[in-house]
């Protein structure tokens, strides 16, 4: 029988609260019993939302860890550069953990966290929510069942929309590596790197090469007449595709949890208050005149130890957001788009009058296979559901990921960024990687 589990939110931002909200729709399975966040306002808002008593509200992960263990697990949704520092004391206290991605910002941190989780015998799952989206989970099932034979090539594409790249990686929290310490590849597309590694489960990456830059959002590409701030000194704002007014006032609910953080103390801000905030906040800056130092596009090529190759193309600033995947195997191929929740399985058909056979798998047929249950193609809620099953000792789903499972995808990302910086192909020492995993295990 399933027992009801309890959790504590560490870092009461958008992602952690989204995962914890499973407790509101499934109160018989999960209860939120505490929160740790340096912001008194966010602690208060979270406590009110989940009915947390004041004595269970903490200013930091260290303060929480100073108390005896108070819950079954922690949902850690702090910023990228805080993941390891906040996780270590909580692992030492014995908490299992659901940890937001990327779980580390460099290889040294990655191995430090792996070692701590094994030393404390804690179960740590990384929030690779796309593994739990019905679209990707069903593709992985078909691959595991041998539907296309051995995979010889994986092609993944992430098109990051113009408004998403602007809010997160040009104007926002992930625009500078000296702040968040994550590159755009790791902050945005470590989902996709994880999916590539997942589809190749059992094989490890051996070589990575990558190219990328900030091609578009540069001062020299600013249109004539552009100012430094959309609503202060810009003469072309009414016609600009990246106008802060168009993105955040005309679309009041788009990215609201980021854009209005400077006025989150106002329960229901007026249009006038929002406009005033954009005159001073980072989200009102001209996209061509920020201090961003991350890429706006990057291509990654990977070779695995069985000589399979894979590519990821991440492009920011597209009109339509999309994630595409194409797997080519020795007996067939699978190709599809996440947003369509549909993929095709094709097999060679050499009969006269034929070239290939095709089966279309459509997950838009209603029921539990659709993406209606939350964000990321239905993956958010399923991630939490699966983690609860895991902690309750039930059979894990095909999507269940441990910290060790996430190492390959993160390694690819770290090596890709080193390749861009150093202009070379990066070799991965698999003997060392396997030795570290076995030693820690």
Q: pLDDT for 165-211, tens place per residue?
A: 999 999 999 999 999 999 999 999 999 999 999 999 889 999 999 99
Nearest CA to 125 among 88, 85, 78, 74? 74
Alpha carbons within 13 angstroms on the beta-carbon side of residue 119 total 13
Cβ atoms within 10 A of the Cβ of 56, count?
19
Distance CA 275, CA 245 (A): 8
Which residues, at least 6 apart from 431, have a Cβ–Cβ distance to it below 8 Å? none
Quote the pLDDT of residue 99: 97
Q: Are 150 and 341 in contact (CB under 8 A)?
A: no
Quote the pLDDT of residue 354: 94
Quote the pLDDT of residue 368: 41
Domains recognised in the chain with CATH numbers: 5-126 (3.40.50.720), 130-216+293-374+398-429 (3.30.360.10), 219-284 (no CATH)
Model confidence, pTM: 0.94
- Residue 102 backbone zone (phi > 0: left; psi -120 to 50: alpha; other: beta): beta
Spell out the per-residue pLDDT of the chain, length 441, in tens. 579 999 999 999 989 999 999 999 999 999 999 999 999 999 999 999 999 999 999 999 999 999 999 999 999 999 999 999 999 999 999 999 999 999 999 999 999 999 999 999 999 999 999 999 999 999 999 999 999 999 999 999 999 999 999 999 999 999 999 999 999 999 999 999 999 999 998 899 999 999 999 999 999 999 999 999 999 999 999 999 999 999 999 999 999 999 999 999 998 999 999 999 999 999 999 999 999 999 999 999 999 999 999 999 999 999 999 999 999 999 999 999 999 999 999 999 999 999 999 999 999 865 443 444 445 556 789 999 999 999 999 988 999 888 999 999 999 999 999 999 999 999 999 999 999 998 766
Quote the pLDDT of residue 2: 78
Integer CA distances (angstroms), 429 to 204, 205, 207, 434, 435, in order = 10, 9, 9, 9, 10
Distance CA 307, CA 153 (A): 9
Distance CA 333, CA 160 (A): 25
Quote the pLDDT of residue 396: 84
Cβ atoms within 10 A of the Cβ of 33, count?
18
Angle of the 407-422 helix axis to the 107-119 helix axis, nearest 10: 160
Q: Are 152 and 127 in contact (CB under 8 A)?
A: no
Per-residue pLDDT tens digits for 324-365: 999 999 999 999 999 999 999 999 999 999 999 999 999 986
């Amino acid at each position: 029988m399933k027992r009801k589990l309890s959790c504590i939110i560490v870092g009461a931002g958008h992602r952690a609260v989204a995962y914890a909200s499973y407790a509101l729709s499934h109160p018989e399975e999960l209860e939120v019993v505490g929160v740790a966040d340096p912001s008194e306002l966010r602690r208060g808002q979270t406590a009110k939302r989940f009915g947390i008593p004041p004595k269970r509200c903490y200013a930091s992960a260290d303060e929480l860890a100073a108390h005896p263990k108070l819950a079954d697990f922690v949902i850690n949704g702090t910023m990228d550069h805080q993941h390891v520092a906040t996780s270590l004391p909580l692992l030492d206290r014995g908490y299992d953990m659901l940890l937001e991605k990327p779980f580390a910002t460099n290889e040294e941190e990655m191995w430090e966290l792996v070692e701590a989780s094994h030393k404390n015998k804690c179960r740590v799952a990384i929030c690779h929510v796309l593994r739990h989206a019905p679209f990707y989970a069903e593709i992985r099932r078909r691959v595991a069942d041998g539907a296309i034979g051995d995979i010889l090539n994986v092609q993944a594409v992430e098109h990051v929309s113009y408004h998403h790249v602007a809010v997160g990686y040009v104007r926002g929290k992930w625009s500078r590596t000296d702040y968040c310490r994550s590159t755009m590849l790791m902050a945005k597309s470590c989902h996709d790197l994880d999916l590539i590694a997942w589809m190749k489960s059992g094989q490890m990456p051996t070589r990575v090469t990558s190219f990328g830059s900030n091609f578009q959002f540069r001062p020299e590409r600013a249109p004539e007449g552009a100012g430094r701030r959309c609503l202060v000194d810009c003469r072309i704002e009414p016609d600009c595709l990246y106008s802060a007014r168009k993105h955040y006032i005309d679309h009041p609910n788009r990215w609201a949890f980021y854009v209005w953080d400077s006025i989150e103390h106002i329960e229901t801000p007026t249009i006038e208050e929002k406009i005033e905030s954009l005159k001073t906040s980072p989200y009102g800056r001209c996209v061509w005149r920020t201090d961003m130092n991350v890429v706006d596009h990057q291509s990654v090529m990977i070779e695995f130890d069985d000589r399979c190759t894979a590519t990821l193309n991440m492009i920011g600033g597209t009109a339509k957001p999309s994630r595409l995947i194409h797997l080519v195997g020795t007996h067939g191929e699978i190709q599809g788009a996440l947003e369509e929740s549909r993929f095709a399985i094709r097999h060679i058909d050499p009969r006269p009058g034929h070239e290939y056979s095709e089966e279309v798998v459509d997950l838009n047929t209603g029921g539990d296979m659709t993406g209606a249950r939350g964000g990321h193609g239905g993956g958010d809620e399923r991630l939490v559901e699966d983690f609860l099953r895991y902690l309750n000792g039930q059979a894990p789903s095909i999507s269940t990921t441990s910290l060790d499972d996430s190492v390959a995808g993160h390694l690819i990302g770290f090596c890709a960024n080193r390749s861009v910086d150093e202009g070379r192909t990066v070799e991965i020492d698999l003997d060392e990687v396997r030795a570290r995993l076995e030693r820690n295990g």
